[in-house]
Amino acid sequence: MRITMIGSGYVGLVSGACFADFGHDVTCVDLNEQKISALKNGQIPIFEPGLEALVSENAKAGRLTFTTDLAPAVASAEVVFIGVGTPSRRGDGHADLSYVYAAAADIARAVTGFTVVVTKSTVPVGTGDEVERIIRETNPSADVVVVSNPEFLREGAAIEDFKKPDRIVIGLEDERAREVMSDVYRPLYLNQAPLMFTGRRTAELIKYAGNAFLAMKITFINEMADLCERTGANVQDVARGIGLDGRIGSKFLNAGPGYGGSCFPKDTLALVKTGQDYDAPLRLVEATVEVNDRRKRAMGRKIITAMGGNVRGKTIGILGLTFKPNTDDMRDAPSIAIVQALQDAGAKIRAFDPEGIEMAKQVINNIEYADDAYGVANGADGLVLVTEWSAFRGLDLKRLRAAMNGDTFVDLRNVYRQKEAEAAGFSYTSIGRPTGADQSVGTIAAE
Ligand code: NAD
């Protein structure tokens, strides 16, 4: 099939490359000329494991091309995906739909023949109706069906997620799109990915409900971690103890510094706004947003307390800046609020991230960068593990401690154990685990 993808960012580029890998003929369009010329030269503008090879193989095979020229790419396509950004709108937190609507108008002007227009961007319930209205108003003779097909891939595991999804949700109001969308995803039948057809509004809401639920789960265990700290319980054991209950499940129960990233913060906020607009307040989601916002900055206070209450003039080393490992994405990363809180208290920051430094430079100021974890530790008064990259999971703690001036180690991802950190000479603080007690994860008699 001939597919055009409007927007070649984390979602558009991964989806486009995977569709091409399925054998479809794909054109990825983007307004950003730098991005497109880099892609034409075989350079990948983002870090995503496996993406470079996938793009290059499919580009070489002639199934994947890149352009800034939207009109011919849309005119020749049977299916046009909209994968542009939907960031938080400044001021009120609603999803900013201006990129989606601009793409819809551009598509309307260029479209020829029967075409299925698919919104893959995360958009509030009812946006498909508006996209359809814009297309009909801009070009009354356009023969177009508008479909919702939200994307559930995770950065860092995006290709695997796209090719082996838990489900594919397709929301449509016109049956003519059903066969076309089945053909688009036919290669995934082999992987037995369930294709779920719903109404368009339902599909739009499924995406937000999913993200809000996961954000709520993380926030729940984060609050439990606070309670564990005050009561001498161990949050990792609590998480395991509840996660083994099949109704709860063990994923997304790792306590940490609060969720961040390009999706959860903006999507939870947008869902809250939608609930308010429809007079159906989503109080659990409202609380989730509020608790998580407060938590990121509270992590700064936790670090300052661990360092004796005063960090003015001290050097604090930060391990990991991206919102999670295996991505270079810095959007709404907890590190931004943490670094800001420490800088506000007068600390100097030195940091290392395996892939995120270039993106971090665009959003955080006045950081000195090191080449690795040991360079970060060199002469530092304290060390904070913020993102659990695998490069930080097996560090030589004795070597780190020997390089440092102070002895504080704050592990916001519970990667290490108290005993081993203390044996290396650290004063060690983690999340939701009792100090001085055994921090081994609970075992089960039957194991
Ligand atoms: P992104 O910012 O990485 O990419 C968006 C791209 O669209 C940019 O390159 C931009 O230049 C381009 N663009 C904007 N307007 C355009 C236009 N009119 N024509 C052509 N190109 C245009 O964003 P992303 O992370 O890929 O997210 C895209 C959408 O997918 C968002 O709605 C997001 O919520 C959703 N989503 C993201 C993820 C994720 O992990 N990043 C996962 C699931 C869903």
Note the pTM of the prediction, 2 decimals: 0.95
The residue segments making up the domain with residue 294 are 210-429
CB–CB of 328/355 below 8 Å? yes
Residue 14 in domain: yes
Q: Is residue 439 domain-resident?
A: no
User: Are 56 and 107 in a shared domain?
Assistant: yes
Cβ(38)–Cβ(13) under 8 Å? no
- State whether the beta carbon of 94 lies less than 6 angstroms from ligand 1: no
Kindly state whether residues 174 and 214 are assigned to the same domain: no
One domain for residues 190 and 227: no
Report the pLDDT value the prediction gives residue 436, as an integer from 0 to 100: 59
Report residue 130 as tokens: 């508006």
Pocket test for ligand 1, best of 4, 6, 11 (most atoms within 8 A of CB): 11
Has residue 290 been placed in a domain? yes
CATH number at residue 293: 3.40.50.720
Total domains in the fold of the chain: 2
Asked if residues 214 and 416 have their Cβ atoms less than 8 Å apart, the reply is no
Residue 435 falls inside a structural domain: no
Tally of helices (H runs) and strands (E runs) in the chain: 17, 14
Buried/exposed 103-138: b ≥16 CB within 10 Å, e otherwise: bbebbbebbeeebbbbbbbbbbbebbebbbebbeee
- Tens of pLDDT, residue by residue, the chain (447 residues): 999 999 999 999 999 999 999 999 999 999 999 999 999 999 999 999 999 999 999 999 999 999 999 999 999 999 999 999 999 998 899 999 999 999 999 999 999 999 999 999 999 999 999 999 999 999 999 999 999 999 999 999 999 999 999 999 999 999 999 999 999 999 998 778 899 999 999 999 999 999 999 999 999 999 999 999 999 999 999 999 999 999 999 999 999 999 999 999 999 999 999 999 999 999 999 999 999 999 998 999 999 999 999 999 999 999 999 999 999 999 999 999 999 999 999 999 999 999 999 999 999 999 999 999 999 999 999 999 999 999 999 999 999 999 999 999 999 999 999 999 999 999 999 999 987 544 544 444 443
Tell me if 191 is assigned to some domain: yes
Residue 145 lies in a domain: yes
Check if 345 has its Cβ closer than 6 Å to any atom of ligand 1.
no
Distance 266 CA to ligand 1 centre (A): 13
Q: How far apart are CA 429 and CA 408, in angstroms?
A: 8
| Ligand 1 atom closest to the CA of 106, numbered from 1 | 18
- Indicate whether 68 and 189 sit together in one domain: yes
* Number of CB atoms found within 10 A of residue 446's CB: 4
- Shared-domain flag, residues 285 and 172: no
Active site residue 263: yes
Same domain, 238 and 303: yes
> Which among 146, 174, 198 is the end of a domain?
198
Is 302 inside a domain boundary? yes
Do residue 165 and residue 219 come from a single domain? no
Q: Is the CB of 343 under 6 A from ligand 1?
A: no
- Identify whether residues 158 and 259 lie together within a single domain: no
Whether 401 and 255 map to the same domain: the answer is yes
